[in-house]
Amino acid sequence: MSKLVRSFVLIFLVSFALIYLVNHLNSAQGFSSGNTLSIYNWGDYIDPDLIKKFEEETGMKVIYETFDSNEAMMTKIDQGGNAYDISVPSEYAISKMKEEGLLLPLDHDKLPNLKNIDERFMDLSFDEQNQYSVPYFWGTFGIVYNPKMLNGKEITSWNDLWDPDFKNQIFLVDGAREIIGMGLNSLHYSLNETDEQKLIEAKEKLDTITPNVKAIIGDEIKLLIANEEAAIGVTWSGEAADIMWENEDLDYVVPEEGSNLWFDNMVIPSSAKNIDGAHQFINFMLDPENAAQNAEYVGYSTPNKKAMEILPEEITEDERFYPDPELTERLEVYDNLGKRMLAYYNDLFLEFKMHRK
């Protein structure tokens, strides 16, 4: 036997032994695909105490990983390197994942707590009859601002952000649909616009706001706005709630021209190994007490009507974060615009960021 062949044989034997050892140790500790649940979620998007509670109630071991964008999440699930049992995509991502066969249909008989979800948030266009998804959180996209830093000026409109007095006072989130959407809404166009001429018009208008933009950033927007590094942040309602908790001088508004109404939803990827466990976890999170606890921890709006009865009135009566149906009906949900058009949005956003430099 040649040295090369012996090397390959040795590598194979060592690899086999390692795989056996890992499986043996997992079995010895009680971990297997049947009692291990792998969750793929946004960062800091669940109360860790609820994971411990679920583990204690079910005997399952939860493996928790995070992502920072729908695109990163979809790519990883599509590649199939990890077998996630639960993920939490946004509405347009669900449409795309359905088209690409990345989701398993839900067994509603295993989700008796589904009855606790407000009917307003069920049977929506991105997943009719909720065949593949269950609402997790919802919210809006808007403007958090500090009136004291703006000499008492109020903000009610996207177009207010072009005020020359706001030079170097705005932080924008790093999201193509969100910021191109801001430009579209400021022109009274749809967030789901596919007319390239209108999209170019929106991008060109965004170019004129650059003197006012201090930075385009991610999660650090919360700390920077709370610490008054700038007076204005364009971000999601839940992020705004966190910032306002840290600094009571701040306010949040959904602009009058319209904005995004978003939904994040629990789904079971097609590569899931523990499908029964996934249904157990979804049903667990739909329990009113668990949903209320999670909403208080995360700061986003719960779609669980029974949880609303448990939450403090100071939370549920705050119309900035639980707007009435009249407002939500004026907002738009992101549609899945297809690969080519989404790439076009991304290209325009990149051009806008480059223009700032």
In a domain, 343, yes or no: yes
Same domain, yes or no, for 124 and 146? no
Range of the domain at 251: 139-261+330-356
Same domain, yes or no, for 152 and 271? no
Same domain, yes or no, for 115 and 168? no
Per-residue pLDDT tens digits for 11-55: 444 444 444 444 444 443 444 456 999 999 998 899 999 999 999
Same domain, yes or no, for 232 and 85? no
Same domain, yes or no, for 85 and 128? yes
Same domain, yes or no, for 190 and 71? no
Which residues does 219 contact at the CB level (< 8 Å), separation at least 6? 43
In a domain, 163, yes or no: yes
Query: Residue 217: phi, psi to the nearest 5?
Result: -140, 175
CATH of the domain at 202: 3.40.190.10
Per-residue pLDDT tens digits for 118-141: 998 999 989 999 999 999 999 999
Same domain, yes or no, for 160 and 234? yes
| Residue 109 vs residues 106, 112, 230: alpha-carbon distances, Å | 9, 6, 50
Same domain, yes or no, for 239 and 349? yes
Same domain, yes or no, for 203 and 336? yes
The pTM (predicted TM-score) of the whole model is: 0.80
Same domain, yes or no, for 72 and 171? no
Let me know how many helices (H) and strands (E) the chain has, helices first.
14, 9
Per-residue pLDDT tens digits for 204-253: 999 999 999 999 998 899 999 999 999 999 999 988 988 998 999 999 99
Same domain, yes or no, for 42 and 178? no
Say how far apart CA 201 and CA 231 lie, in whole Å. 27
Q: What 8-state DSSP symbol labels residue 117?
A: B
Say how far apart CA 48 and CA 52 lie, in whole Å. 7
Query: Residue 301: phi, psi to the nearest 5?
Result: -85, 130
